[in-house]
Amino acid sequence: MDKLPIVYCRGYAGPTSQIDVTVDDPFYGFNDGATHVRVDGDGDPMFYQFEGPLLRLLTEQGYQFLVHGDQKRFLETTTGALSPQSIWVHRFYDQFATTFTPQPKRNIFEKIGDAITHHLDDNGFDIERAASELYDLVLHVIERTGAPAVNLVAHSMGGLVARCMMQKICETPDADGNARRPAKEIVAKLFTYGTPHRGIVLTAGIANWAMETFGTAGSDIFSPPKMYGYLTPGKTFGDTPDRGENWDPGVIPPDVFDVDHVFCLIGTDPADYTLARVAVGPKSDGLVLIENAYVVGAHRAYVFKSHSGRYGEVNSEEGYQNLARFLFGKWAVSLSFAGLPADTSSLGENVSWQADMRLAIRGLPIVMSEQRAEHWCPIQLNAEITKKPDSPDSPVPIVGTFLFQKEPPDAPASDKEVLSRYALSLRVYHIVFDKGGFDFSDHLEQVSDWSDTLIIDVGDLGQGFGGWYAWNSELPGAIDSIDRMPNQLQLAPADGGTFAATVGLPEVARSLPVFAPNGALRVTTRNRG
């Protein structure tokens, strides 16, 4: 598929003092990488380096960062067509910084007053203004590159800037009364890291009230009711939904943009962040609750990373691999449960069945997505059965990912050279409750009722796209000693141009009441072009 321009939108900087620090970075932080220590074969620590996502897009995907002093001025003053494989940073904070303009002479008291103000105020930052300028930047990039649309990549608040543009600015006439181009015409895909799509909610009710009422350093843009004003055409910031209006800030209207083109990376590590983690609590990335970090119906992955910083979502291999596959992957693959009981009556009273999930792809040093109880986000199987509305605890499907098209050499030595392999590890267990608490009387901590790993190979071996699978418990020897799994997926045409197959769960899994007697996994795939 053709590679489109990428426009980056950074997250919330905070007050003016932090805005001044932010604008000093020419790439707004998207160039940052990370270093880690992994355990080697001898059990000793070994250095491991990850280059930032911007550098990886340049070196691995052939992108260019076009800048000669100023990207905006470069767009305005140069002539000739520019490469669509280019990266652009929306530097919306520059105009609110104090470091780019001469400062007036001040006495000592004025300097003290300004220093205090710079730590409390954001110098007039306006999210709708940033969204309007993003619209202008997107159109300019499309005009200069000849690309049909752009891909938007955003961290935290940057995702709300993008959504404000898509849901409000694009749907509102300009100052001259001319209609703007709709988002579905100018945006191909939207990828967000840790964006509070449903706002930021703190554990203390009074703290939420203070954020909404006072909005220190512009923080009231994260108040869920106030998001209504900048996500809804015809409304102004400060407007809130009418009483009884069923409005969800996590919903993108289908006539505005297809959520199949949205991917949300959700962080699940609340510990490795600032003191904000104390106010937000667990089941978050330290700032954004897991349940608030996604667009309803969008693709998503869960990674054990914090909201930002050295071990944050943006500066991670997990983030980059999910981004690259969403933007450039040829095949979309998803797995969901099938054959579950019709209701929960057979599961036992006060019994909750849960599953941990981990998705790995051959050749990568990281887990692509994982939902685990210790990360506050296991899959709630009871909710799957009762078809609870979409939530991070009961996603449909269990997991989805995107795979690159592997180009085989003229004479491949083995199927490994042309097949993509991924592995879905499942661990199923149940929890008993009694009188409002846990019942540990017959409990075995950290012991699952069933666990196994489904290995799937997919690709084109010269006879069209195909898939092969096996459960790890049924394989002899090491997984990597087998070039291709022994069982062929019986893919058949399904709705929406997809192909689907059913993989039965092992007998030991189907002996559990949550899966008996027809428990299976449904595998779907489609060619994204």
- What is the mean predicted confidence (pLDDT) over 501-517? 94
Confidence of residue 30 (pLDDT cuts 50, 70, 90): confident
Residue 109 phi, psi dihedral angles, 5° rounding: -70, -40
pLDDT at 296: 93
Residue 308 reports pLDDT greater than 80: yes
Task: Judge if 321 and 336 occupy the same domain.
Answer: no
Longest dimension (CA), the chain: 80
Residue 85 reports pLDDT greater than 50: yes
Tens digit of each residue's pLDDT (9 = 90 or more) over 191-244:
999 999 999 987 656 555 555 554 555 678 999 999 999 999 999 998 999 888
Of 487, 427, 498, 493, the closest CA to residue 456 belongs to 487
Q: CA–CA distance from 521 to each of 39, 276, 507, 514 (Å)?
A: 34, 39, 13, 13
Confidence of residue 103 (pLDDT cuts 50, 70, 90): low
pLDDT at 280: 82
Q: Which of 328, 345, 361 is the last residue in one of the domains?
A: 328
- What is the mean predicted confidence (pLDDT) over 465-469? 89
Residue 111 reports pLDDT greater than 70: no
> Quick check: 221 and 157 in contact, CB under 8 A?
yes
SS3 state of residue 179: coil
Task: Judge if 306 and 362 occupy the same domain.
Answer: no
- What is the mean predicted confidence (pLDDT) over 89-94? 92
Amino acid at 283: K
Confidence of residue 96 (pLDDT cuts 50, 70, 90): confident
Tens digit of each residue's pLDDT (9 = 90 or more) over 403-443:
887 776 676 778 888 888 999 999 999 999 988 899 999 88
* HEC sequence for 120-177: CCCCCCCHHHHHHHHHHHHHHHHHHHCCCCEEEEEECHHHHHHHHHHHHHCCCCCCCC
pLDDT at 238: 87
* Global confidence as pTM: 0.92
Q: Which of 25-39, 169-183, 470-484 has the lowest mean pLDDT?
A: 25-39
Count of domains for the chain: 2
Q: Count the neighbouring beta carbons within 10 Å of the beta carbon of residue 39.
A: 9
Task: Judge if 240 and 369 occupy the same domain.
Answer: no
Task: Judge if 322 and 430 occupy the same domain.
Answer: no
CATH of the domain at 157: 3.40.50.1820
Tens digit of each residue's pLDDT (9 = 90 or more) over 253-306:
999 999 999 999 999 998 877 666 667 888 999 999 999 999 999 999 999 999
Q: What angle do CA 19, 23, 26 make, to 5 degrees?
A: 155
In a domain, 1, yes or no: no
Task: Judge if 261 and 362 occupy the same domain.
Answer: no
Residue 133 reports pLDDT greater than 90: yes
Residue 305: left (phi > 0), alpha (psi -120 to 50), or beta?
beta
CA 514 to chain centre: 29
Q: Which of 328, 363, 396 is the last residue in one of the domains?
A: 328
Whole-angstrom distance, CA of residue 306 vs CA of residue 269: 5
Task: Judge if 296 and 380 occupy the same domain.
Answer: no
Task: Judge if 269 and 306 occupy the same domain.
Answer: yes
Residue 21 reports pLDDT greater than 90: no
In a domain, 63, yes or no: yes
DSSP class per residue in 284-327: BSSSSBGGGSS-TT-EEEEES-BSSSTTBSTTSHHHHHHHHHHH
Task: Judge if 304 and 377 occupy the same domain.
Answer: no
Residue 482 reports pLDDT greater than 70: yes
Whole-angstrom distance, CA of residue 249 vs CA of residue 269: 23
SS3 state of residue 249: coil
Q: Which of 73-82, 111-120, 340-349, 392-401 has the lowest mean pLDDT?
A: 111-120
- What is the mean predicted confidence (pLDDT) over 460-467? 80
Residue 4 reports pLDDT greater than 90: yes
pLDDT at 279: 73
The tokens describing 115, both together, are: 């220093």
pLDDT at 109: 55
pLDDT at 214: 47
- What is the mean predicted confidence (pLDDT) over 19-30? 84
Residue with tokens 């106030």: 226
Task: Judge if 382 and 269 occupy the same domain.
Answer: no
Which position has the higher pLDDT, 398 or 490?
Answer: 490
Residue 68 reports pLDDT greater than 50: yes
For residue 270, give its domain range.
6-328
> Quick check: 211 and 202 in contact, CB under 8 A?
yes
Task: Judge if 45 and 83 occupy the same domain.
Answer: yes
Whole-angstrom distance, CA of residue 315 vs CA of residue 317: 7
Q: What percent of the chain has pLDDT over 70?
A: 89
Residue 106 reports pLDDT greater than 50: yes
Residue 123 reports pLDDT greater than 70: no
- What is the mean predicted confidence (pLDDT) over 166-183? 96
In a domain, 249, yes or no: yes
- What is the mean predicted confidence (pLDDT) over 160-182? 96
Residue 118 reports pLDDT greater than 60: no
For 126, half-sphere exposure in the C-beta direction (CA atoms, 13 angstrom radius) is 10
Task: Judge if 316 and 407 occupy the same domain.
Answer: no
Whole-angstrom distance, CA of residue 399 vs CA of residue 370: 9
Q: For the chain, what is the mean pLDDT? A: 88
Task: Judge if 204 and 61 occupy the same domain.
Answer: yes
Q: Which of 15-24, 392-401, 422-431, 482-491 has the lowest mean pLDDT?
A: 392-401
pLDDT at 207: 55
Q: Which of 300, 328, 356 is the last residue in one of the domains?
A: 328
> Quick check: 511 and 528 in contact, CB under 8 A?
no
pLDDT at 411: 66
